[in-house]
């Protein structure tokens, strides 16, 4: 009775555990993997935060366009009151007479405001801040491209390793059948025990190879989960299969304006030119408006908080301030020359980068073409190895082919399959390099 009572509870717990396990398993395509990485990868997240930071830096710079208002309270205690020398004739005396100006206590409370009316250097710096915001957007895009490149490489690697494991397991099935036949033949005295041992050694070596590839695949999937921001305990299954590209790439020269690296250099050149302009604008006059409204109390005794009027006097003024730079010891001139040198360096870097991109595309496309040829050869090798294995297997059944020759043909067949998947992996990586060199990594993301 107790077992019947608790059986539904146990079944419910097992069912919930199975559901939780199933919920943790994630089926990922390559596109989903890259999109998930863009959303979760810490480097992309930090780049996105940097972009937001630059946005608020622009807001900070723009805040200077508004009036700056602040309140103040200033209290002074004059233990020695300042004196002014006045002619004695004012007081009906002769000579100079020192007269105290002010009181022992001076307390001022009020507000003051300033407003930039004209400052060309500041207005140009606002343009610089906007360029920096665009620069941050490009930096974020570059981080996304780096992530897509890395995730795609790891995804291809996981696919290739999985295909190799599948192929070895299929070969293992044939080896197990051959091992059963060899065991019977050995027991019947048809073959020697050493021949049976050879088949067993071949099986054990293949199992070791499968175990090593299994371990390698787990490490690769772990790296993939790390890149796209998935928890380590999450089970992942790759939905895409490693297959030939549907279309071949063409050798036309790409438009390198799609490369984020060049766009970043171009933006740096724009920023450098604005810095030069800002520095030159400092030669221009600046005009500001200002004003204050405050109450000042002057007393010889500290009685500000006692009842009575006349302790504070209202004071207010406004005005305009004009500052005209005249001579700075050639500081601006030296700074402008530094910016000119930096501009030349950026222009040299841009030309060198564009030349490198041309070389990179040429090398990547040549590698792609070479991988296509290699893959075609490996396909031909597969066909010949399969035909050789079938003939050897048939000949072994008719006792005209030795077990050693059969094992050699089986090893050749296995190696041809593994070499084919390696060649396919190299082709996919070469295709990825061509897309990177053309600036197309984020296409279709």
d(CA 38, CA 47): 11
Question: Which residues on neighbouring strands pair with residue 237, listed in sequence order?
Answer: 27
Name residues whose C-beta falls within 8 Å of residue 237's C-beta, 6 or more positions apart in sequence. Answer: 25, 26, 27, 28
The continuous run of DSSP H or E covering 97 comes out as strand 96-100
SS3 call for 418: helix
The reported pLDDT for the residue numbered 10 is: 44
Dig out the tokens for 339 from the structure: 């910016």
Q: Mapped to the 3 state alphabet, what secondary structure does 29-71 carry? A: CHHHHHHHHHHHCHHHHHHHHHHHHHHHHHHHHHHHHCCEEEE
Alpha helices in 229-326 (DSSP H): 260-281
SS3 call for 110: strand
DSSP state of 252: P
DSSP state of 89: G
- Exposed, middle or buried by CB within 10 Å (0-12, 13-18, 19+), for 257? exposed
The reported pLDDT for the residue numbered 7 is: 46
Q: Is the dihedral of CA 234, 237, 240, 244 positive or negative?
A: positive
Alpha-carbon 270 to chain mean position:
23
Q: 287: closest CA among 112, 119, 125?
A: 119
The reported pLDDT for the residue numbered 445 is: 66
310-346 burial, b if ≥16 CB within 10 A, otherwise e?
Answer: ebbeeeeeeeeeeeeeeeeeeeeeebbeebeebbeeb
Q: What share of the chain is helix, strand, coil (3-state, %, to 5)?
A: 65, 15, 20
Measured from the Cβ of residue 380, the count of other Cβ atoms closer than 10 Å reads 11
User: Could you tell me if 171 and 304 are in contact, meaning their C-beta atoms sit under 8 angstroms apart?
Assistant: no
Measured from the Cβ of residue 242, the count of other Cβ atoms closer than 10 Å reads 20
The reported pLDDT for the residue numbered 20 is: 44
* Radius of gyration from C-alpha coordinates of the chain: 41
The reported pLDDT for the residue numbered 94 is: 82
pLDDT along the chain (445 residues), means of 10: 46 45 74 94 94 90 90 93 87 84 91 92 89 92 95 96 94 89 82 86 93 96 94 91 78 82 94 92 91 90 76 90 90 92 95 94 94 95 94 86 88 94 95 92 80
pTM confidence score: 0.81
SS3 call for 185: helix
The reported pLDDT for the residue numbered 64 is: 86
Q: Is CATH 3.30.160.270 correct for 32-65+119-284+325-437?
A: no
The reported pLDDT for the residue numbered 107 is: 92
The reported pLDDT for the residue numbered 435 is: 92
Alpha-carbon 137 to chain mean position:
11
SS3 call for 276: helix
């Amino acid at each position: 009775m107790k077992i019947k009572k608790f059986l539904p509870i146990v079944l419910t717990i097992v069912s919930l555990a199975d559901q939780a396990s199933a919920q943790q398993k994630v089926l990922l395509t390559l596109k989903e993997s890259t999109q998930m990485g863009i959303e979760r990868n810490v480097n992309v997240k930090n780049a996105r935060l940097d972009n937001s930071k630059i946005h608020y830096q622009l807001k900070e710079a723009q805040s200077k366009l508004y009036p700056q208002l602040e309140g103040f309270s200033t209290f002074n205690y004059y233990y020695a009151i300042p004196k002014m020398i006045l002619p004695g004739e004012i007081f009906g005396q002769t000579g100079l007479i020192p007269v105290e100006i002010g009181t022992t206590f001076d307390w001022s409370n009020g507000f003051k405001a300033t407003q930039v009316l004209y400052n060309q250097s500041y207005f140009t710096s606002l343009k610089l801040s906007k360029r920096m915001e665009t620069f941050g957007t490009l930096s974020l895009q570059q981080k996304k491209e780096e992530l897509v490149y890395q995730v795609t490489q790891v995804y291809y690697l996981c696919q290739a390793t999985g295909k190799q494991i599948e192929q070895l397991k299929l070969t293992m099935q044939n080896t197990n059948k051959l091992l059963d036949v060899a065991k019977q033949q050995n027991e019947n005295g048809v073959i020697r025990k050493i021949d049976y041992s050879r088949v067993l050694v071949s099986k054990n070596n293949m199992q070791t190879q499968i175990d090593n590839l299994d371990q390698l695949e787990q490490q690769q999937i772990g790296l993939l989960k790390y890149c796209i921001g998935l928890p380590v305990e999450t089970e992942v299954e790759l939905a895409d299969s490693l297959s030939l590209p549907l279309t071949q790439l063409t050798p036309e020269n790409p438009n390198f304006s799609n490369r984020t690296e060049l766009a970043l250099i171009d933006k740096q050149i724009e920023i450098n030119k604005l810095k030069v302009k800002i520095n030159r604008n400092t030669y221009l006059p600046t005009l500001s408006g200002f004003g204050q409204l405050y109450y000042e109390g002057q007393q010889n005794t500290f009685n500000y908080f006692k009842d009575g009027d006349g302790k504070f006097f209202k004071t207010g003024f406004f005005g305009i301030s004009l500052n005209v730079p005249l001579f700075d010891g050639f500081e601006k001139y030296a700074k402008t020359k530094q910016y000119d040198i930096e501009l030349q360096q950026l222009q040299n870097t841009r030309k060198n980068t564009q030349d490198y991109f041309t070389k990179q595309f040429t090398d990547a496309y040549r590698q792609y073409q070479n991988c296509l040829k290699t893959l075609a050869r490996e396909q031909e090798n597969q066909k010949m190895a399969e035909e050789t294995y079938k003939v050897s297997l048939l000949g072994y059944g008719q006792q005209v082919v030795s077990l050693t020759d059969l094992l050699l043909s089986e090893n050749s067949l296995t190696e041809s399959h593994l070499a084919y998947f390696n060649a396919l992996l190299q082709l996919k990586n070469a295709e990825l390099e061509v897309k990177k060199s053309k600036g197309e990594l984020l296409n279709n993301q």
